[in-house]
Amino acid sequence: MPHNSILAPSLLAGQHARLAESAAQVAAAGAPWLHLDIMDGHFVPNLTFGPQMVAELRREVPGLFFDVHLMLDEPQRYAKAFAAAGAQLISFHIEPSLDHRALLAEIRALGCLNGIVLNPDTPAEAVRHLLADVDLVLVMTVQPGFGGQPFRRDMLPKFAQLDAWRREQALNFRLEVDGGVDLKTGVECRAAGADTFVAGTAFFKAPDRASFVREVSAW
């Protein structure tokens, strides 16, 4: 059985001086998840916010599921702090060299779901050995660091490959897409096997955010 479709609006596209208000808009629109992009200025050429911001937002929007996307060279140094801040899912990239399997296990031991992330240039094969130990695989459809970039349609076969392995091995991980997702590109990702949809720019610019949420939920 395929997973139901979940929308995870990305706070990166919110108003950074008023992130609590932006998070409240996500909750008011009826979205189930909130995607929080954590950047270190090294793994990606940009900076966002840290565990204290996540902890304070947690108190502002207690009903949203916090999907924390770590774009860090050393995610293993911060998993515990983000779990304590109220993250419910913590994903990190496969590209930096570290003991990925150990960190996946640590995230679960902290009481969170875990996720592994692939940059556009990283093939699906890079995470194949970890698939039995993950709750979510996140496929980047832009080079991470900034919102508002065009969707990379050439990533669609990567979803199809991961979905095929998921079926073959009877695994249950979610397949998430992040970057340039809107109501058109998201449908293409759903057809290729994605079930969890990060949308920053398209969500916050939508004329009717509640109907955006309803439409994605119906995919």
Whether 107 contacts 114, CB under 8 Å: yes
Q: Is 199 helix (H, G, I), strand (E, B) or coil?
A: strand
Establish whether 208 is a catalytic residue. no
Euclidean distance between CA atoms 128 and 55, whole angstroms: 33
Tell me the window of 75-83, 97-105, 158-166, 198-206 that interacts with ligand DX5 (CB under 6 A): 198-206
Residue 10: phi, psi to the nearest 5?
-95, 125
Q: Is 18 helix (H, G, I), strand (E, B) or coil?
A: helix
148 is a contact residue toward ligand DX5 (CB under 6 A): yes
Q: What are the C-alpha distances in Å from 186 to residues 27, 180, 192, 202, 212?
A: 20, 9, 10, 11, 11
Which of 58, 69, 100, 174 touches Zn ion (CB under 5 A)?
69
Which of 37, 67, 163, 195 is catalytic? The answer is 37
What is the tally of helices (H) and strands (E) in the chain? 8, 8
Which of 145, 160, 161, 215 touches ligand DX5 (CB under 6 A)?
145
Which x/- pattern over 125-164 shows residues binding Zn ion (rule: CB under 5 A)? ----------------------------------------
Closest to ligand DX5 by CB, 10 or 22: 10
Establish whether 178 is a catalytic residue. yes
Active site (catalytic) residues: 37, 178
Binding-site ranges for ligand DX5 (CB under 6 A): 10, 12-13, 35, 37, 69, 142, 144-149, 178-181, 198-202
Residues near Zn ion, by CB under 5 A: 37, 69, 178
